[in-house]
């Protein structure tokens, strides 16, 4: 039993005053201090990591009764090099999240057509859910698809979640779901940063934030665009402030003047959804004014590659477009190859078919006047931004870009990020300290949950999910083994077969990889099972069963009315979460009649992150271990235990009675998940890292021959094998748990601030936790040095070649070999940064397209108004508004510091709700005047998809803009509210967001849509 606040007050008030204040020499009886004096006495301190955004701030949790009681205080860990003790409003409130009597503490069950919850036990719920899983799976399992290809999949159950799980939990969840045969596996990453992954992977080779939080402090110029870092990543912004203290300029480009803008040297307003126009204008400006780093562009990017004559671009379309299929034939965008299959280059960058010449031609249309009329940004402001940021083209200067949902959540989300990636390559800002393209992730473990493959299209380690046309394992391997004839290209993805074999051994240890491959569920070739499609299919009745783990899709997904209606079509749903939420309770939500809704709901109470142990990965790829503070409250449990117990129960059910394709269920390598009863995060972490199944001959770190013993941990993914002799649940994490003993092997738990003087210059902290891959802190760091190994920025070197020792010092080099021996982008087939990106679905160069719903009837400078390859759903056009006088206002969804995501956790945290209690709508004085609205009035926002009330916040931070000569208003609404709690808080912004998605990833366009509004 823990001490509750009231008891605590009594205890301390009684005995402690004299002792604590006696030393002051007089009797102090402060009104509030009475309770605090003993606060930390007798508590046990444990370290954890904040569960909100992905800065990854260190916490110290103080738990009463030497750890046996409840948490009494949670504050920042002063040793942690990122937050150094600091916390934002959300982080500072974690005590109240933990010790919160409104948390779900019991299993709840809602029977079909019932209007109430019933309390149940775990002992009842787990076998009941297992029974439903088995019945649904057995009835709906498909061994073959319509073409007769083997698919071994279950498309009658879908799962979403979760970035709120630890890495170890994510891994076992995907293994569980895939053993069942699920292909509809999605989570938060799809709807927050899915566009980041292909954009960065196409440009540089990996889909993750290139640098890390502390490194932002090394920048000479910080551009924040498509993001609001001061509010969404307040402690990450600490490092922006550090950069500014050293003289860096801060530029903020955003439709709204936010808390970030308040600190900026330059603030530029633009219309939501016009970032490519803005940045395309920057590319034109940089090229025309020779503001690019020529040596870098020539040597380290594909600017010199020659493009085949089939590539062309005209009136908004690239060559190869098939309008019926809404698809491009990407073969039309290929490079000219030499006899070895290596792209031909013109190192003078003069050839009219070289990438740089095509780039110039493509952006020739993006002149200041055009860009200004599209974006609404004044021309002089554009020039000011271009010039200031362009100054980082100097070899010794670096500029960094910080972005988030403002770029990702568009039908051109991937291309927004691509445009900036290209600019960073032109300026030589990739690989250097204070540079990079820094995708600011929004969930504490959304990097990890993506790494662990909780998405329909990837397995752990970014290995693509297999497709039905890849019949045999060899077919699959052929598809993941790129070839390069260039001796300087390491072409690292050629090693993927080793990672796949090791993954299959982690999932199914007792069979060989080729056999295990047959157990994996297969999607049809070209099939999309991403978020919007999943809920579209759910509304059409495709799924009987549904899991929502640590997610709240009824509020988080675009077009909430559609999502909520889709939930009514299910037979059963399992909702695992910390609090009651709009998803689990959808059957009693607005407009719902419980009597008519058949869906059974199991609400399973998960514990809070401070109550469990495991690792999470922050935005900067730091894998950080969290320890348990207090025990789980009430009957809540770690997600890992819930997953493990459910899978054990499903296995029992399949052992007891026959069912469809039991092999992957009974053959799963479950011995690495726990002790038979309890989930064991260390065991899973060791398996994710990987171990040897047999004695294997290899090379030690010194190059000498050694034998790696069966059962020992693999220390680097370079040692993984394609013959089934190694296990590794996720090759990207290989090197994170290198010895079975947690004290020496668990690198994510390392807390040493030790660094060399060189490393200290850039705040590398290589001994604090661990970063993937192989503890490399700055990705593509080979591009921070010239061909002789001399850093371009000697004052802040990421690494330097030590000629005497014949080795690199500083960061772990991203690719071994002497200076000049290899190309710097080792994950790329051709080894170079991609200014031209022929692998994306909507073109090798980004093009400005209007949002699907927008104020303009036509594209301002081409014949193609919207992204021709965007994800749309036939029949929904009628629910959208284009240049419609009934819905003339551009709306964007936003966030505030004090809430997080759908508000599921923060709305229940009184200190946060106090600060941001209700739905609001930010609008300009002009619009308010036009509509007769006063600040603080209740207003109704409306479009064809939904209606929403909000409190008007009338402010000079919002301004009408002149777009193509016409005054256009913009408003902004937070998406943190929902009808469940508080009762007067409002509902989700997603009620108004259309179901349209990016051409590459299907991320919904939550940041630009049309509404109307009036005083309520």
Helices (H), 152-235: 167-180, 188-192, 196-204, 229-232
- List own/partner pairs for 243-249 with CB under 8 A and 24 or more apart: 243/216, 243/217, 243/218, 243/219, 243/434, 246/217, 247/220, 248/219, 248/220, 248/221, 248/222, 248/434, 249/220, 249/221, 249/222, 249/388
| Separation CA 777–CA 387 (nearest Å) | 30
Please state the length of the chain. Answer: 1016
- For residue 998, the SS3 value is coil
| Separation CA 95–CA 26 (nearest Å) | 33
Per-position DSSP letters for 233-298, written without gaps between them: STTTHHHHHHHHHTT-EEEEE-SS--TTGGG-SEEE---TT-HHHHHHHHHHHHHHTT-S-HHHHH
Question: How many residues bind to another protein according to rule CB under 8 A?
Answer: 74
The smaller minimum CB distance to another protein, of residues 222 and 455, is found at: 222
Task: Tell me how far, at minimum, the Cβ of 37 lies from another protein, in Å.
Answer: 5
The smaller minimum CB distance to another protein, of residues 493 and 907, is found at: 907
The smaller minimum CB distance to another protein, of residues 238 and 865, is found at: 238
The smaller minimum CB distance to another protein, of residues 188 and 261, is found at: 261
Q: Which of 939, 936, 931 is nearest to 917 (CA)?
A: 936
Q: Which of residues 88-127 bind another protein (CB under 8 A)?
A: 88-89, 91-93, 95-96
Task: Tell me how far, at minimum, the Cβ of 245 lies from another protein, in Å.
Answer: 8
Q: Which of residues 224-253 bind another protein (CB under 8 A)?
A: 230-231, 234-235, 237-238, 241, 245
Q: What angle do CA 622, 187, 458 make, to 5 degrees?
A: 75
The smaller minimum CB distance to another protein, of residues 814 and 922, is found at: 922
* Contact between 383 and another protein per CB under 8 A: no
CB 406 within 8 A of CB 228: yes
The smaller minimum CB distance to another protein, of residues 50 and 1010, is found at: 50
- 412, 420, 952, 999: which one binds another protein (CB under 8 A): 952
- 42, 67, 69, 85: which one binds another protein (CB under 8 A): 85
* Contact between 818 and another protein per CB under 8 A: no
* Contact between 221 and another protein per CB under 8 A: no
The smaller minimum CB distance to another protein, of residues 165 and 896, is found at: 896
Task: Tell me how far, at minimum, the Cβ of 558 lies from another protein, in Å.
Answer: 24
Using the rule CB under 8 A, give the single segment among 73-81, 495-503, 886-894, 1008-1016 that binds another protein. Answer: 73-81
Q: Which of residues 904-933 bind another protein (CB under 8 A)?
A: 910-920
Task: Tell me how far, at minimum, the Cβ of 256 lies from another protein, in Å.
Answer: 11
* Contact between 2 and another protein per CB under 8 A: no
Q: Which of residues 846-905 bind another protein (CB under 8 A)?
A: 896-898
Contacts of 373 (CB under 8 A, 6+ apart): 860, 962, 963, 964, 965
The smaller minimum CB distance to another protein, of residues 504 and 950, is found at: 950
* Contact between 987 and another protein per CB under 8 A: no
- 49, 64, 86, 798: which one binds another protein (CB under 8 A): 86
* Contact between 528 and another protein per CB under 8 A: no
* Contact between 941 and another protein per CB under 8 A: no
The smaller minimum CB distance to another protein, of residues 56 and 735, is found at: 56
| Separation CA 684–CA 746 (nearest Å) | 12
Report residue 830 as tokens. 């051709």
The smaller minimum CB distance to another protein, of residues 242 and 471, is found at: 242
* Contact between 263 and another protein per CB under 8 A: yes
Q: Which of residues 392-411 bind another protein (CB under 8 A)?
A: none
Q: Which of 714, 571, 720, 772 is nearest to 157 (CA)?
A: 571
Task: Tell me how far, at minimum, the Cβ of 33 lies from another protein, in Å.
Answer: 5
Answer whether the bond into residue 978 is a cis peptide, omega within 30°. Answer: no
Residue with tokens 């299209």: 457
- What is the CB neighbour count within 10 angstroms for residue 901? 23
Task: Tell me how far, at minimum, the Cβ of 898 lies from another protein, in Å.
Answer: 6
CB 700 within 8 A of CB 706: yes
* Contact between 706 and another protein per CB under 8 A: no
Using the rule CB under 8 A, give the single segment among 139-147, 259-267, 675-683, 993-1001 that binds another protein. Answer: 259-267
The smaller minimum CB distance to another protein, of residues 241 and 774, is found at: 241
- 568, 951, 964, 968: which one binds another protein (CB under 8 A): 951
| Separation CA 43–CA 61 (nearest Å) | 9
The smaller minimum CB distance to another protein, of residues 405 and 950, is found at: 950
| Separation CA 458–CA 480 (nearest Å) | 12
* Contact between 962 and another protein per CB under 8 A: no
- 45, 357, 955, 968: which one binds another protein (CB under 8 A): 955
- 957, 969, 976, 1007: which one binds another protein (CB under 8 A): 957
Report residue 718 as tokens. 């370079």
CB 25 within 8 A of CB 43: no
The smaller minimum CB distance to another protein, of residues 253 and 912, is found at: 912
Residue 357 has φ and ψ, to the nearest 5°, of -65, -40
The smaller minimum CB distance to another protein, of residues 758 and 937, is found at: 937
Task: Tell me how far, at minimum, the Cβ of 930 lies from another protein, in Å.
Answer: 17
Using the rule CB under 8 A, give the single segment among 321-329, 446-454, 642-650, 948-956 that binds another protein. Answer: 948-956
- For residue 765, the SS3 value is coil
Beginning with the edge strand found earlier in the chain, give each strand of the sheet holding 614-617 in spatial order.
Answer: 614-617, 622-626, 770-771
CA 569 to chain centre: 29
The smaller minimum CB distance to another protein, of residues 250 and 551, is found at: 250
Residue with tokens 């279950």: 154
- 753, 857, 936, 967: which one binds another protein (CB under 8 A): 936
Per-position DSSP letters for 600-616, written without gaps between them: EEEEEEBPPGGGS-EEE
Task: Tell me how far, at minimum, the Cβ of 286 lies from another protein, in Å.
Answer: 25
Contacts of 316 (CB under 8 A, 6+ apart): 847, 849, 859, 862, 863, 864, 868
* Contact between 529 and another protein per CB under 8 A: no
Task: Tell me how far, at minimum, the Cβ of 27 lies from another protein, in Å.
Answer: 8
DSSP letter at 829?
T
| Separation CA 954–CA 969 (nearest Å) | 13
- For residue 31, the SS3 value is coil
CB 356 within 8 A of CB 317: no
| Pattern 8-47, another protein, x by CB under 8 A | x-----------x--xxxxxxxxxxx-xxx-xx-------
Task: Tell me how far, at minimum, the Cβ of 218 lies from another protein, in Å.
Answer: 17
The smaller minimum CB distance to another protein, of residues 60 and 748, is found at: 60
Task: Tell me how far, at minimum, the Cβ of 619 lies from another protein, in Å.
Answer: 15
| Separation CA 733–CA 772 (nearest Å) | 6
The smaller minimum CB distance to another protein, of residues 132 and 238, is found at: 238
CB 586 within 8 A of CB 567: yes
Task: Tell me how far, at minimum, the Cβ of 981 lies from another protein, in Å.
Answer: 13
- 5, 540, 699, 966: which one binds another protein (CB under 8 A): 5
Using the rule CB under 8 A, give the single segment among 256-264, 769-777, 826-834, 990-998 that binds another protein. Answer: 256-264
CB 984 within 8 A of CB 946: no
| Separation CA 802–CA 541 (nearest Å) | 63
Terminal Cα-to-Cα distance of the chain (whole angstroms): 49
Residue 622 pairs with which residues in a beta bridge? 771
| Separation CA 741–CA 410 (nearest Å) | 46
- 58, 76, 690, 815: which one binds another protein (CB under 8 A): 76
The smaller minimum CB distance to another protein, of residues 484 and 619, is found at: 619
Task: Tell me how far, at minimum, the Cβ of 546 lies from another protein, in Å.
Answer: 34
């Amino acid at each position: 039993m823990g001490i509750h606040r009231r008891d605590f007050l009594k205890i301390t008030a009684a005995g402690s005053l004299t002792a604590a204040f006696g030393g002051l020499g007089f009797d102090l009886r402060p009104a509030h201090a009475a309770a605090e004096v003993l606060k930390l006495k007798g508590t046990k301190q444990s370290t954890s990591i904040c569960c909100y955004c992905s800065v990854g701030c260190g916490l110290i949790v103080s738990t009463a009764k030497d750890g046996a009681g409840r948490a009494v205080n949670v504050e920042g860990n002063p040793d942690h090099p990122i937050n150094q003790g600091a916390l934002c409003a959300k982080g500072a409130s974690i005590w109240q999240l933990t010790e919160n009597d409104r948390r779900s503490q019991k299993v709840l069950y809602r029977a079909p057509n019932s209007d109430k919850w019933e309390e149940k036990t775990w002992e009842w719920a787990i076998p009941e859910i297992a029974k439903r899983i088995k019945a649904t799976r057995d009835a709906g399992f498909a061994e073959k698809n319509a073409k007769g290809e083997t698919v071994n999949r279950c498309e009658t159950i879908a799962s979403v979640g979760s970035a709120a799980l630890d890495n170890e939990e994510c891994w076992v969840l995907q293994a569980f779901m895939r053993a069942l045969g699920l292909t509809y596996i999605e989570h938060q990453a799809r709807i927050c940063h899915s566009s980041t992954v292909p954009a960065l992977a196409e440009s540089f080779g990996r889909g993750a934030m290139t640098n890390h939080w502390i490194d932002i402090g090394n920048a000479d110029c910080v551009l924040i665009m498509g993001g609001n870092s001061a509010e969404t990543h307040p402690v990450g912004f600490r490092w922006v402030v550090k950069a500014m203290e050293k003289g860096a300029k801060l530029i903020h480009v955003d439709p709204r003047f936010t808390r970030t803008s308040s600190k900026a040297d330059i603030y530029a307003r633009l219309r939501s959804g016009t970032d490519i126009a803005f940045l395309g204008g920057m590319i034109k400006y940089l090229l025309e004014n020779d503001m690019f780093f020529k040596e870098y562009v020539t040597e380290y990017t594909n600017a010199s590659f020659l493009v085949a004559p089939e590539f062309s671009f005209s009136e908004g379309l690239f060559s190869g477009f098939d309008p019926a299929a809404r698809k491009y034939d990407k073969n039309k965008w290929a490079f000219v190859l030499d006899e070895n299959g290596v792209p031909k280059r013109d190192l003078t960058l003069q050839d009219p078919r070289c990438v740089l010449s095509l780039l110039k031609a493509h952006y020739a249309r993006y002149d200041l006047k055009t860009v200004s009329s599209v974006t609404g940004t004044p021309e002089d402001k554009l020039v000011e931004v271009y010039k200031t940021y362009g100054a980082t083209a100097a070899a010794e200067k670096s500029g960094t870009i910080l972005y988030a949902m403002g770029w990702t959540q568009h039908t051109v989300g991937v291309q927004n990020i691509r445009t900036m990636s290209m600019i960073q390559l032109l300026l030589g800002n990739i690989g250097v300290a204070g540079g990079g393209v820094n995708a600011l992730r929004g969930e504490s473990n959304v990097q990890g949950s993506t790494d662990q493959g909780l998405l329909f299209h990837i397995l752990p380690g970014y290995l693509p999910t297999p497709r039905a046309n890849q019949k045999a394992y060899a077919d699959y391997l052929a598809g993941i083994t790129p070839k390069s004839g260039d001796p300087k290209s390491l072409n690292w993805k050629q090693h993927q077969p080793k990672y796949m074999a090791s993954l299959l051994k982690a999932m199914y240890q007792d069979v060989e990889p080729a056999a295990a491959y047959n157990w994996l569920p297969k999607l049809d070739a070209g099939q999309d099972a991403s978020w919007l499609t999943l809920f579209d299919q759910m509304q059409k009745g495709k799924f009987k069963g549904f899991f929502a783990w640590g997610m709240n899709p009824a509020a988080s997904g675009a077009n909430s009315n559609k999502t909520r209606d889709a939930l009514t079509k299910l037979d059963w749903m399992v909702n695992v979460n910390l609090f009651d939420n709009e998803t689990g309770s959808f059957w009693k939500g607005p407009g719902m009649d419980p009597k008519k809704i058949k869906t059974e709901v199991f609400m399973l109470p998960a514990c809070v992150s401070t109550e469990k142990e495991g690792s999470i990965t922050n935005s900067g790829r730091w894998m950080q271990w969290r320890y348990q503070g207090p025990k789980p409250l009430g009957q809540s449990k770690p997600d890992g235990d819930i997953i493990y117990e459910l899978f054990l129960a499903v296995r029992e059910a399949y052992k007891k009675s026959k069912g469809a394709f039991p092999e992957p269920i009974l053959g799963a390598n479950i011995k690495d998940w726990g002790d038979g009863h309890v989930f064991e995060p260390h065991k899973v972490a060791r398996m994710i890292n990987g171990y040897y199944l047999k004695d294997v001959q290899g090379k030690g770190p010194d190059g000498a021959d050694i034998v790696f013993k069966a059962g020992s941990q693999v220390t680097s993914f370079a040692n993984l094998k394609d013959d089934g002799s190694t296990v590794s649940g996720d090759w990207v994490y290989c090197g994170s748990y290198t010895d079975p003993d947690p004290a020496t092997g668990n690198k994510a738990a390392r807390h040493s601030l030790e660094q060399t003087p060189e490393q200290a210059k850039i705040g590398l902290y290589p001994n604090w936790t661990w970063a993937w891959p192989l503890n490399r802190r700055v990705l593509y760091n080979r591009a921070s040095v010239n061909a002789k190994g001399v850093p371009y920025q000697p004052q802040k070197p990421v690494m330097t070649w030590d000629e005497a020792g014949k080795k690199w010092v500083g960061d772990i080099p991203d690719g071994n070999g002497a200076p000049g021996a290899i190309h710097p982008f080792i994950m790329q087939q051709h080894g170079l940064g991609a200014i031209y990106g022929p692998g994306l679905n909507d073109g090798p160069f980004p093009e400005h397209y209007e949002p699907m719903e927008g104020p303009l009837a036509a594209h301002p400078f081409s014949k193609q108004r919207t992204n021709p390859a965007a994800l749309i759903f036939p029949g929904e056009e009628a629910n959208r508004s284009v240049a419609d006088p009934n819905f003339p206002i551009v709306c964007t969804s936003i966030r505030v510091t004090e809430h997080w995501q759908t508000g599921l956790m923060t709305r229940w945290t009184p200190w946060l709700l106090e600060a941001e209690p209700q739905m609001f709508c930010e609008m300009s004085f002009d619009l308010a005047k036009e509509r007769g609205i006063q600040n603080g009035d209740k207003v109704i926002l409306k479009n064809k998809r939904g209606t929403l009330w909000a409190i008007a916040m009338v402010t000079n931070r919002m301004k009408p803009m002149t777009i193509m000569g016409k005054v256009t208003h913009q408003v902004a609404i937070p998406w943190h509210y929902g009808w469940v709690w508080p009762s007067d808080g409002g509902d989700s912004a997603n009620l108004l967001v259309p179901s349209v998605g990016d051409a590459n990833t299907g991320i919904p366009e939550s940041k630009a849509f049309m509404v109307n509004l009036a005083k309520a």
